[in-house]
Copies of this chain bind each other. A is one copy, B any other.
Amino acid sequence: MISKILVAVDGSKNAHKAFEYACDLAKKAGASLLILHVSEELGTVGYSINKELELDSREVLQKYQSRAKKVLQTHVDVMEAKANDVAEEVLRTADKENIDTIVVGSRGISEAKMFLLGSVAYKVSHYATRPVVIVR
């Protein structure tokens, strides 16, 4: 049942907790882990800023990949994507990769503290067709 886990990361504190939870879950369940970073497509910024955001995303992914490899002692997949809607991309990837559990932080890096649930966690938990873990 729990054999392929996707965790969405964005460098935020909550995503870090989501990552730690997903690692623990994958380890205990003997499941494989896919770490996904989705950057919001920012049409309004120039080439150099977009390039910098890409490097940021790669750095976040590399950090998590090496940490996950240490914990799970196995190969860990990472993916990076750019999308207008981060939640939609998470759901699309989960479908495509045949994921059985999606793990997300309750609030992303740019999401206001006034909301109990960030928009990505909100959308993913509402529209997913498979189990979703929301981590705080």
Q: Which residues of A contact B (CB under 8 A)?
A: 1-2, 20-21, 24-25, 28-30, 101, 116-117, 121, 125-136
Secondary structure call for the A interface = mixed
Also in contact, A136 and B130, with CB within 8 A (given A2-B28, A25-B2): yes
Partner of A131, one of B2, B30, B136: B136
Also in contact, A1 and B20, with CB within 8 A (given A131-B136, A134-B131, A134-B134): yes
Contact present for A132 and B131 (CB under 8 Å): no
Closest Cβ–Cβ distance, residue A78 to chain B (whole Å) = 22
Contact present for A131 and B21 (CB under 8 Å): yes
Also in contact, A134 and B135, with CB within 8 A (given A117-B125, A126-B117): no
Contact present for B133 and A131 (CB under 8 Å): yes
* Additional 5 contacts, C-beta under 8 A, given A1-B21, A25-B25: A125-B134, A129-B136, A131-B134, A132-B133, A134-B134
Which residues on the B side are within 8 Å of A20 (C-beta)?
1
Closest Cβ–Cβ distance, residue A6 to chain B (whole Å) = 14
Report 14 cross-chain contacts, Cβ distance below 8 Å, ordered by A residue. A2-B24, A2-B25, A2-B28, A24-B29, A25-B29, A29-B29, A101-B133, A116-B126, A116-B127, A125-B125, A129-B136, A130-B136, A131-B134, A131-B136
